[in-house]
Structure 1
Amino acid sequence: MNLSIFFEPLNEDIFALLDKPRTLGAYIGRFTGKFPDWRSADIAILGVSETRGREEEPHETAPARAVRKKLYSLHKGAGRCHIVDLGNLRPGITLEDTYLRIKEIVEVLISHNTIPVIIGGSHDLEYGQYMGYEHMDRVVNMVTVDSSVDMAEDPEVPANKKQLRQILMHEPNYLFSLGQIGYQSYLVDPEVMATLEKLHFEAYRVGEVHRNIQEMEPVVRMADLLTFDISAIRHQDAPGYEPANPFGITGEEACQLCWYAGLSDNMTSMGFYEYNPALDAHELTAATMATMIWYFIEGFYHRKNETQFNTSKFTKYAVAFNDNPDRMIFYKSRQSEKWWLEVEALSNEKGARIVPCSYEDYLQAIKGEVPNRWILTQARIG
């Protein structure tokens, strides 16, 4: 497929001083004259200037421009690096057309094992990112990092405040799990949280992220796609959005979550949304986002390919419960020391599912307590 018809080339002038040896700018193949070979790339960066989802006209200058300048100047890690920059997506005539363009691009890229990294644009663009998985003929898992939960019902509310409802209502329904990380209770309607609970989805307040970010790793490892609303980051570390949010996650925590995403063998697309360069006078947000993407790239090139559980790479643990013939099966990687949990379906017609978990889940099980992650997963399997 000729993806170049969807993109505008980048202006070469902004990269003139960035091609220094050993920086990412010297290794990323970008669309300036000739469209890069995305089929053989590991990761493809694409900028999206679509902001009609927050009731603004698309920006003439793509939000990705400032992020690219910061990202390209960062030093490359020690491993290999095969990344392309496809340029900036041409917005559709309507907002829905833009969603469909993102859907088609994500679908094509992940079908060729190339991970799209989207730099947007309003957060409703995650709907297009999600639709890119419709062709996979299997359920998918999604994680969103956001200070609020974008599930508004009011038709007068901007699109970037209700895209999760679009995803949940989308037919066919292929969403198996949704993880919401970093929400702030005073920004979320209690009825919305009750809906997530009824659907057996996981949600973690910003305080839980601060208290133990390591517990977010299994949540991220579960996901096929992750979306990041920049407003989840406290304003001191990323001022390029509105309204200002003084109590979000830190820039360091945002980078840690992106590192987890990069390491995950399941993760096949990333989206970074709601960056407004007009509010980023000193390009601090651009620097934060560039560092987040850098950590995702580094994590990707440190993947362990831990998907075959019945091999010598894993240690299997069976936890028995008192007065109960059933056992709970855990797997621990000998290489990364990460944990997985095998969850039996309630119905005999459905097989077991192995999902990421934490060491804390294992400790809870050996105390005779059923981990909440096991309960939620079994409820979703049915």
Structure 2
Amino acid sequence: MNLSIFFEPLNEDLFAMFSKPRTLGTYISRFVSSFPDWRAADIAIIGVHETRGRDKTSTATETTDPPARAVRKKLYSLTKGAGRCKIVDLGNLRPGITLDDTYLRLKEIVELLVSHNTIPVIIGGSQDLEFGQYLGYEHLERPVNMVTVDSRVDMLEESDEPANRKQLRQILMHEPNYLFSFGQVGYQSYLVEPEVMGTLEKLHFEAYRVGEVHKSLQEMEPIVRGADLLTFDISAIRHQDAPGYEPANPFGLTGEEACQICWYAGLNDSLTSIGFYEYQPELDERDLTATTLATMIWYFIEGYYHRKNDLQFTGNKFTKYAVGFHDNPDKMVFYKSKHSEKWWLEVEALSAEKGSRIVPCSYEDYLQATKGEVPNRWVVTQARLG
């Protein structure tokens, strides 16, 4: 497939000043006159200026500039980290005639990149674009795991609601259904209907309030480590650190917490795409949000180049721990990586025919098991396995 037909080239004059030694702009091969060789790249940056899924009652005057433009300017000027850097910038996706056409274009692009082990970094655009990102995994014909960082749970049913408030429902209703697990990080209770949270609980999905993230950010790492794809709604970040969204929210993640989550995502050997959505540059005073987003992407890139390849549980890369329970012949098996010191938990399915699944966990899960308590992560995973 000729990917270049889907993209608009970038204006080289805009980025010339950021091609200084040791900046990322020097190392990123971008689509200006010729399309970069994305097959040889580890990471591909994609801008998507698609906002038809957003609430049209917004008081902001929408700019004609793609949201990715301001982010690129900040990202290109950041200092490159240590080690290799094989990154391409494919330019801006040409929107489809309809919103559904854009989803399908994004699906084809994500599918092709993932098939060639190139990670798409999508800079949107409204949050409903994550539906197109998710569709890009249909070809795998296996269950996938998704994590979204958002202050709301976008699962409304009303037909008159904007697309970016109900795309999670689209994902859950999509056939074939290949979503194995879903994790919601950073939601705020006063922005989410109780019925929606009840639905997530019935589906054995995990959801963590923003207060839980503040209390123990490290406990979010296993959630992110289990994801094949991750999406980040910029409105999950408090307005002080990222004012470029509407409606304004004085509460949420800090910029530092957002960067830490992106670092976790980069380190995740399983993660093959990431999307950043809902950035509105017309609301971004002094480009503060663009700087925050660029730094988040920088941490994701750095995390990627520090991956440990911790997905093979045979050999001598792991230490295996078996935890027994009083008056119960069953044991709970944990694995600890000798390289990264991260923990995994083996969960047996209720049906013997379905085997077992090894999922990321935390040291706290292991300690809980040693006290004779069954970790919640084991319970919800077994329920999903059936």
Query: In the superposition, relative to structure 1, how do residues 59 and 5 fare at CA in structure 2: closer, same or farther (>3 Å)?
Result: farther
C-alpha separation in 1, matches of 2:147 and 2:198: 18
* Deviations 1:201-247, CA, capped at 9 Å, x for gaps: 00000000000000000000000000000000000000000000111
Task: Give the conservation status (yes or no) of the 8 Å contact 1:9–1:32.
Answer: yes
Task: Give the conservation status (yes or no) of the 8 Å contact 2:266–2:302.
Answer: yes
AA aligned to 2:263 is W
Task: Give the conservation status (yes or no) of the 8 Å contact 1:51–1:58.
Answer: no
C-alpha separation in 1, matches of 2:341 and 2:104: 40
Q: Name the residue aligned to 1:103.
A: 107
C-alpha separation in 2, matches of 1:16 and 1:41: 21
Q: Indicate the SS of the match to 1:79.
A: coil
Instruction: State the shift of 1:62 in Å.
Output: 0.5
Q: Name the residue aligned to 1:18.
A: 18
Instruction: State the shift of 1:58 in Å.
Output: 8.3
AA aligned to 2:88 is V
Q: Indicate the SS of the match to 1:329.
A: strand
Q: Name the residue aligned to 1:212.
A: 216
Alignment of 1:71-86 (within 5 A): 71-86=75-90
C-alpha separation in 2, matches of 1:115 and 1:94: 26
C-alpha separation in 1, matches of 2:111 and 2:17: 34
Task: Give the conservation status (yes or no) of the 8 Å contact 2:71–2:290.
Answer: yes
* Deviations 1:339-374, CA, capped at 9 Å, x for gaps: 000000000110100000000000000000000000
C-alpha separation in 1, matches of 2:52 and 2:359: 37
TM value normalised by structure 2: 0.98
Instruction: State the shift of 1:55 in Å.
Output: 4.1
C-alpha separation in 2, matches of 1:94 and 1:310: 48
Q: Name the residue aligned to 1:310.
A: 314
Alignment coverage as a number of residue pairs: 382
- Out of 331, 342, 361, the position equivalent to 2:346 is 342
C-alpha separation in 2, matches of 1:82 and 1:101: 24
C-alpha separation in 1, matches of 2:117 and 2:40: 9
Instruction: State the shift of 1:281 in Å.
Output: 2.4
AA aligned to 2:103 is Y
Q: Indicate the SS of the match to 2:70.
A: helix
Q: Name the residue aligned to 1:7.
A: 7
Instruction: State the shift of 1:308 in Å.
Output: 1.0
Task: Give the conservation status (yes or no) of the 8 Å contact 1:66–1:277.
Answer: yes
Task: Provide structure 2 residue ranges, at least 5 long, that are not aligned to the other structure.
Answer: none
Task: Give the conservation status (yes or no) of the 8 Å contact 2:62–2:282.
Answer: no
C-alpha separation in 2, matches of 1:33 and 1:158: 37
Task: Provide structure 1 residue ranges, at least 5 long, that are not aligned to the other structure.
Answer: none
C-alpha separation in 1, matches of 2:358 and 2:15: 45
Q: Say yes or no: does 1:141 pair with 2:163.
A: no
* Deviations 1:151-196, CA, capped at 9 Å, x for gaps: 0001000000000000000000000000000000000000000000
AA aligned to 1:12 is E
Instruction: State the shift of 1:60 in Å.
Output: 2.6
Q: Indicate the SS of the match to 1:330.
A: strand
TM value normalised by structure 1: 0.99
Q: Following TM superposition, where does structure 1 have runs of at least 4 consecutive aligned residues deviating by more than 6 angstroms? A: none
Task: Give the conservation status (yes or no) of the 8 Å contact 1:139–1:176.
Answer: yes
Instruction: State the shift of 1:75 in Å.
Output: 0.4
Q: Indicate the SS of the match to 1:22.
A: coil
Alignment of 1:182-331 (within 5 A): 182-331=186-335
AA aligned to 2:185 is I
